[in-house]
Structure 1
Amino acid sequence: MGTIKPDKRSVQTAKVDRPLAAPAQRALHKLGEDLNRARRRRGLTQQSLADRAGVGLSTLRRLEAGDPRMQLQVLARVLHVFGDIDRLDRLMDTGEDDIGLALMDEQLPKRVRPRKGPHAF
């Protein structure tokens, strides 16, 4: 008798598609519409933008449709073509993270006491 090899699918954990939260779906849909509008305002066809961004036409169409499976690098390529790549750079800028900064401020000590010993300033 030969050995039985386990089926790869049974060994690997099955990928479970979780539904995207409604606010996230709406945000992606709006992003797609905004990209579509920005492209049209610049007088670009989908094909010309796809060519300039180095992506396929179907990929660009999915991005403009707000497909949640799109890769972030596709968005970065399109923003670069538009001359707006700095918007991606500022997306989650920690200096503008009001919630994160407020949480950090809550953790600040009430008072600061001088240190004792040779390393005190």
Structure 2
Amino acid sequence: MDAPLPLPVQRAMHKLGADISLARRRRHFTQASLAERMGASLSTVRRIEKGDARVPIHFIARALHVFGEIQALENLLDSAHDDIGLTLMDARLPKRVRTKPGTSGAL
């Protein structure tokens, strides 16, 4: 049995679904035409727009691609901008770097 989704995850999924629905309607796509463009079923599009977290992520990626927004997925957790990860990594850096005996230390 799966653990229940945390409330922030539920909210994010519902917002994403609503945003996809809005993007679709702004482009004057029906749910059926979006499904066809995505290579998905109509029920999949309906589930995405309802914020169903059980929809595989590749369908969300396909919807983003149809809307010309796939870079949003690519940049979700860009490691170069992962402030928490970079801070944790920097906290583990040595205070000083010493050369090993018998090495020059120069590049």
What is aligned with 1:116? 101
* Count of residue pairs the alignment pairs up: 106
| Structure number, greater radius of gyration | 1
How far off is 1:119 after superposition?
A: 6.3
Q: Which of structures 1 and 2 has the larger relative contact order (alpha carbons within 8 angstroms, sep 6+)?
A: 2
1:15-48: per-residue Cα shift (whole Å, max 9, x none)?
A: x121001110001011101111111111111111
The residue identity in structure 1 corresponding to 2:88 is: L
Q: Is 1:32–2:17 an aligned residue pair?
A: yes
Please, which runs of 5 or more residues in structure 1 have no aligned partner? 1-15
Identity of aligned residues (%): 56
State the alpha-carbon separation in 2 of the partners of residues 53 and 109 from structure 1.
49
1:10 maps to: none
Q: Deviations over 1:76-114 (max 9, x none)?
A: 111111111111111111111111011001101112223
Map of 2:85 onto structure 1:
100
- Structure 1 residues 108 and 118, CA, compared in 2 at 3 Å: closer, same or farther? closer
d(CA) in 2 for partners of 1:86, 1:119 = 45
What RMSD in Å do the two structures reach over aligned CA positions?
1.2
Moved over 6 A (4+): none
What TM-score do you get using the length of structure 1 for normalisation?
0.82
